[in-house]
């Protein structure tokens, strides 16, 4: 794993290498503006007030604007526009059809509150604004937190998904209206999982980071989502994906590997030739601000007032959202067990639990919480004393900080969360008292605060024992523990989190994505050269080029569109067409040769050839010693027996070991072991090449490859009469030999179009790229006149309202 400590830190635009041509701007993309927009009853004037929650994320934007050289633009949805009563309570939702004049005025108010920061609000017109949250909060959030949803007929979910796509498209439209080349686009959280890929399709060279603030579940749970592939592919449009803990990083990479079939390592995912870095970058808080606020005189007065309410009592403090994952129920069970196991603490300890409403299981959890509080107070309280004080409401910031400061013990028992910033703020507020904190091992913060007392919230006995241990802890031990926690929290702040994200993004851009950019095929130029040429040569790979990659190789049959376009091409006497594939003779003969006899075929990466009009295949390796096959087959069989889902494909010349149907991680591991085994044995004994393909390992004679076939085909033309148009398309490493062969023929250099299928960032020697096989077919349709230039487009793709990828 790479050592981030050795990276040059990126604090501002001046720290970015000049070759990346950064603009100095960060487009910071969040779900909501930091300020809620509302009106009060009997007052038609718009107002704004600070939005609760996401304090760390909003602090990061403030840091960018006030303490760095970055020019930051905040792109965020306004959220629901509401009417509030004079006490700030919700009365009703306001129709969001706001005039342009009012939008400008409200935007100015928000920018003023943010100290002059630039804001680009997303305005979503119409009533029922909560519909934009439905899919995110009812489907994605539930899955990310391991909550099993009830089965439905799918109609409601389909509508939610439609709105989710539209929400992401609205963000894309706003970003496109302000984007400049070199901008860094930083997208946050599960509401916007489709956005990175939508932007990538429009700006192939954009610098995009995506951060998942929530947990990410195991692949076995994430696969329950019906739109799992669309969501993962959406995220993989980013150059960098950040998570809160190593466990979430591992789960995300595993989900991509298992559900999308992409290649990966512990630090990046390789998809379409692009390297998407995936890194653990836990968020912090603005410790200086929290410390400044926590030790104001007014807070000290509230601390003393709380202490006076509970004289001679140990105060345990909890503050959580009241939902299925914050562990309030588990906390109460643990506290009840504590009072039962350690009766000496009865009437000497009080639990102050503050809860805020949430959008998951609210009424059910609220009812269960109330029942447990009543039960504990009835069992262990007296007329003058209640051991649990539950406050189900939002509390003011000064009251919150006072609670964290007065506590003798902080208790966090979440059963699943991303980064619990309450515990970070607790550590800062305890700068003088050094009271310990108990932290759930299932919290995303557990991986960062390793010196906290960690518990399994489902183990009420273990929680009870931890409470007793912390209340009896010596002052010396408390100080030692707190000093370690305090050092970590004040070192890993929200400011350092911003720097780490920018540093890791730039590192990835330097190493992979932008070390080589292949432009999209200039179809107008290709069409012009095609029309003016008297002799044309087409050289096609098959799998991944003319047809998509599929799990079952035998299922990759040509589409009706492909058959039609090849027929139209071959009917033009100026055109010579060859398909040069790793497939065997039988497959190419059946699906290409029998359908169109005017196409030349080359099988097994150049081992066999059958030109137009030939009756039989020419074996170019006929005189080659094939005794190596027995040795290779023994090795392949050994690994096949030990790798469930793998199989051996025995061709006439080459041997291929496939593992596309095996467990992705284990299959990739076995492939590495197999390749190493072959290179240390067979490859040293025989003149053969061990090639790594897409979920396969192939062994073949070294002197035969696609490049040699291309040289042979071009050299068949007389001197001075070489083809005036060569169109060569492939997607794999083996196709690089073709690209090199045609580029090394100087007399035709101006007439060749070596085109790789994949993203612009794919490492290749080709001069051009097309996104996928569908775009290859569109290009062929353009050349034969089946589609016009506007239909062929530029090789980019879009996501439609159903969430499907369309051309």
Pairing outcome for strands 696-701 and 655-658: antiparallel
The residues, any chain, with a CB within 8 Å of residue 297's CB and separated by 6 or more, are none
Q: What sign does the dihedral 10-14-17-19 (CA atoms) show? A: positive
The pLDDT of residue 791: 61
- 504 contacts 240 by C-beta, under 8 angstroms: yes
Pairing outcome for strands 647-650 and 655-658: antiparallel
Say how many C-beta atoms besides its own lie within 10 A of residue 110's C-beta: 20
- 697 contacts 678 by C-beta, under 8 angstroms: yes
pLDDT at 804 over 60: no
Sheet holding 349-357, edge to edge: 388-392, 349-357, 314-322, 409-412, 437-440, 453-455
* 419-472 pLDDT tens trace: 889 999 999 999 999 999 999 999 989 988 999 999 999 999 999 999 999 999
- Cα distances from 33 to residues 81, 113, 167, in angstroms, run 12, 11, 15
DSSP structural state of residue 14: G
- 453 & 550 share domain: no
Is position 500 within any domain? no
- Residue 75 maps to which CATH number? 3.40.50.2000
Taking the model in full, what pTM does it have? 0.78
Is position 16 within any domain? no
Helices and strands of the chain, counted as H and E runs: 28, 33
pLDDT at 511 over 80: no
- Percent of the chain predicted with pLDDT > 90: 64
Between residues 321 and 190, the one the model is more confident about = 190
- 283 contacts 444 by C-beta, under 8 angstroms: no
Is position 499 within any domain? no
pLDDT category of residue 801 using cuts at 50, 70 and 90: very low
- 769 & 668 share domain: no
- 740 & 642 share domain: no
pLDDT at 803 over 70: no
- Domain end point (choices 457, 478, 513): 513
- 481 & 346 share domain: yes
pLDDT category of residue 92 using cuts at 50, 70 and 90: confident
- Residue 685 maps to which CATH number? 3.30.70.1020
Between helix 736-743 and helix 706-715 the angle, nearest 10°, is: 30
- 45 & 181 share domain: yes
- 771 contacts 796 by C-beta, under 8 angstroms: yes
Between helix 195-202 and helix 155-178 the angle, nearest 10°, is: 50
- Domain end point (choices 672, 701, 730): 701
The pLDDT of residue 798: 36
The pLDDT of residue 795: 44
Is position 39 within any domain? yes
pLDDT at 579 over 80: yes
Which has the minimum average pLDDT: 96-110, 593-607, 792-806?
792-806
The pLDDT of residue 654: 84
Q: For the chain, how many structural domains are there in total?
A: 4
pLDDT category of residue 512 using cuts at 50, 70 and 90: low
* 656-683 pLDDT tens trace: 999 988 888 888 889 999 999 999 999 9
Is position 9 within any domain? no
Is position 362 within any domain? yes
- 697 & 708 share domain: no
Which has the minimum average pLDDT: 60-69, 74-83, 122-131?
122-131
Is position 14 within any domain? no
What is the token pair recorded at 353?
């639990």
pLDDT at 112 over 90: yes
pLDDT at 392 over 70: yes
- 757 contacts 532 by C-beta, under 8 angstroms: no
- 569 & 544 share domain: yes
Q: Where are the beta strands (DSSP E) in 529-674?
A: 536-540, 575-580, 600-603, 608-610, 618-619, 647-650, 655-658
Is position 5 within any domain? no
The pLDDT of residue 488: 95
- Find the angle CA(128)-CA(133)-CA(136) to the nearest 5 degrees: 155
* 313-340 pLDDT tens trace: 999 999 998 888 889 999 999 999 999 9
Report how far residue 499's alpha carbon sits from residue 284's, in angstroms, rounded to the nearest whole number: 12
- 467 & 332 share domain: yes
| 743 burial type by CB count under 10 A (0-12 exposed, 13-18 middle, 19+ buried) | middle
- 102 & 69 share domain: yes
* 30-58 pLDDT tens trace: 999 999 999 998 888 899 998 887 788 99
- 135 & 184 share domain: yes
Report how far residue 337's alpha carbon sits from residue 355's, in angstroms, rounded to the nearest whole number: 21
- 298 contacts 405 by C-beta, under 8 angstroms: no
- Residue 582 maps to which CATH number? 3.40.50.1000
* 338-369 pLDDT tens trace: 999 999 999 999 999 999 876 555 678 889 99
Report how far residue 485's alpha carbon sits from residue 480's, in angstroms, rounded to the nearest whole number: 9
Residue with tokens 């000064």: 398
DSSP structural state of residue 5: G
- Domain end point (choices 662, 686, 701): 701
Of 765, 215, 284, the C-alpha closest to 499 is 284
The pLDDT of residue 789: 64
- Find the angle CA(121)-CA(124)-CA(130) to the nearest 5 degrees: 110
- 727 contacts 531 by C-beta, under 8 angstroms: no
**Average pLDDT in the 607-626 region?**
86
The residues, any chain, with a CB within 8 Å of residue 245's CB and separated by 6 or more, are 215, 280, 282, 444, 446, 447, 448
What mean pLDDT, rounded, does the chain reach? Answer: 89
* 710-765 pLDDT tens trace: 988 988 888 878 899 999 999 988 899 899 988 877 666 678 999 999 877 677 88
- 354 & 486 share domain: yes
Q: Where are the beta strands (DSSP E) in 505-592?
A: 536-540, 575-580
Between helix 494-508 and helix 55-67 the angle, nearest 10°, is: 70
Sheet holding 696-701, edge to edge: 647-650, 655-658, 696-701, 688-693
- 270 & 332 share domain: no
- 443 contacts 214 by C-beta, under 8 angstroms: no
pLDDT category of residue 265 using cuts at 50, 70 and 90: confident
Of 401, 417, 285, the C-alpha closest to 354 is 401
What is the number of residues in the chain? Answer: 807
Of 503, 428, 518, the C-alpha closest to 766 is 518
Report how far residue 461's alpha carbon sits from residue 439's, in angstroms, rounded to the nearest whole number: 15
* 553-564 pLDDT tens trace: 778 899 999 999
What residue numbers bound the domain in which 176 lies? 23-284+506-513
DSSP states of 545-558: TTB---SSGGG-PP
């Amino acid at each position: 794993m790479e050592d981030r400590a050795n990276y040059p830190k990126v604090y501002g635009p001046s720290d970015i290498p000049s070759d990346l041509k950064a603009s100095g701007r960060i487009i910071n993309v969040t779900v909501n503006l930091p300020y809620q927009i509302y009106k009060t009853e009997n007052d038609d004037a718009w107002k704004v007030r600070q939005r609760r929650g996401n304090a760390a994320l909003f602090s990061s934007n403030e840091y960018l604007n006030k303490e760095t050289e970055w020019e930051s633009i905040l792109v965020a949805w306004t959220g629901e526009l509401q009417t509030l009563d004079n006490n700030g309570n919700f009365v009703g939702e306001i129709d969001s059809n706001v005039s342009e004049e009012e939008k400008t005025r409200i935007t100015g108010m928000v920018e003023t509150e943010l100290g002059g920061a630039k804001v680009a609000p997303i305005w979503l017109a119409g009533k029922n604004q909560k519909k934009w949250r439905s899919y995110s909060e009812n489907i994605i959030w539930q899955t990310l937190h391991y909550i099993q949803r009830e089965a439905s007929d799918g109609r409601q979910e389909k509508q939610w998904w439609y709105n989710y796509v539209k929400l992401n498209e609205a963000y894309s439209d706003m970003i496109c209206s302000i984007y400049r080349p070199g901008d860094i686009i930083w997208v946050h959280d599960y509401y916007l999982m489709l956005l990175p890929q939508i932007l990538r399709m429009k700006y192939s060279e954009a610098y995009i980071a995506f951060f998942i603030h929530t947990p990410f579940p195991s692949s076995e749970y994430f696969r329950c989502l019906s739109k799992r592939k669309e969501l993962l592919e959406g995220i993989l449009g980013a150059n960098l994906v950040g998570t809160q803990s190593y466990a979430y990083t591992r789960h995300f990479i595993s989900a991509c590997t298992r559900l999308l079939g992409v290649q990966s390592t512990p630090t990046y995912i390789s998809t379409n030739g692009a390297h998407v870095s995936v890194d653990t970058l836990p968020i912090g808080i603005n410790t200086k601000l929290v410390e400044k606020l926590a030790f104001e005189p007014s807070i000290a007065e509230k601390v003393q007032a709380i202490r006076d309410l509970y004289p001679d009592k140990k105060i345990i403090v909890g503050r959580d959202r009241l939902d299925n994952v914050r562990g309030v129920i588990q906390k109460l069970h643990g506290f009840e067990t504590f009072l039962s196991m350690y009766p000496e603490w009865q009437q000497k300890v009080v639990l102050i639990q503050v809860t805020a409403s949430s959008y998951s299981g609210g009424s059910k959890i609220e009812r269960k919480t109330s029942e447990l509080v009543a039960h504990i107070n009835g069992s262990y309280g007296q007329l003058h004393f209640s051991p649990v004080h539950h406050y189900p409401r939002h509390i003011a910031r000064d009251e919150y900080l006072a609670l964290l400061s007065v506590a003798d013990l902080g208790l966090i028992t979440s059963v699943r969360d991303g980064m619990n910033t309450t515990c970070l703020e607790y550590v800062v507020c305890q700068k003088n008292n050094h009271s310990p904190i108990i932290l759930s091992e299932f919290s995303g913060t557990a991986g960062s605060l390793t010196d906290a007392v960690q518990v399994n919230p489902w183990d009420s006995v273990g929680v009870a024992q931890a409470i007793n241990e912390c209340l009896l802890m010596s002052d010396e031990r408390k100080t030692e523990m707190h000093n370690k926690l305090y050092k970590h929290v004040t070192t890993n702040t929200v400011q350092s989190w911003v720097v780490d994200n920018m540093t890791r993004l730039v590192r990835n851009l330097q190493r992979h994505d932008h070390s080589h950019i292949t432009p999209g095929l200039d179809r107008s130029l290709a069409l012009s050269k095609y029309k003016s040429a008297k002799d044309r040569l087409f050289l096609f790979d098959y799998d991944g080029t003319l047809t998509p990659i599929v799990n079952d190789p035998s299922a990759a049959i040509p589409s009706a569109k492909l058959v039609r376009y090849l027929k139209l091409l071959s009917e033009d006497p100026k055109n010579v067409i060859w398909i040069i594939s790793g497939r065997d003779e039988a497959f190419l003969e059946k699906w290409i040769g029998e359908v169109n006899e005017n196409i030349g075929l080359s099988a097994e990466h150049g081992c066999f050839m059958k030109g137009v009009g030939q009756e039989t295949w020419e074996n170019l390796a006929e005189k080659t010693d094939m005794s190596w096959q027995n040795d290779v087959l023994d090795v392949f069989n050994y690994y096949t027996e030990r790798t469930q889902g793998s199989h051996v494909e025995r061709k006439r010349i080459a041997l291929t070991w496939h593992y596309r149907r095996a467990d992705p991680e284990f299959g990739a591991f076995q492939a590495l072991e197999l390749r190493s085994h072959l290179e240390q044995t067979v490859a040293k004994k025989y003149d053969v090449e061990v090639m790594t393909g897409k979920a396969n390992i192939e062994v073949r004679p070294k002197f035969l490859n696609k490049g040699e076939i291309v040289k042979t085909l071009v050299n068949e033309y007389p001197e001075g009469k070489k083809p005036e148009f060569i169109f060569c398309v492939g997607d794999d490493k083996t196709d690089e030999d073709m690209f090199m062969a045609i580029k090394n023929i100087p007399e035709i250099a101006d007439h060749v179009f070596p085109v790789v299928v994949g993203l612009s960032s794919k490492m290749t020697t080709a001069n051009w790229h097309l996104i996928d096989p569908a775009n290859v077919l569109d290009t062929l349709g353009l050349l034969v006149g089946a589609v016009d230039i506007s239909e062929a487009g530029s090789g980019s793709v879009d996501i439609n309202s159903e969430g499907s990828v369309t051309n």
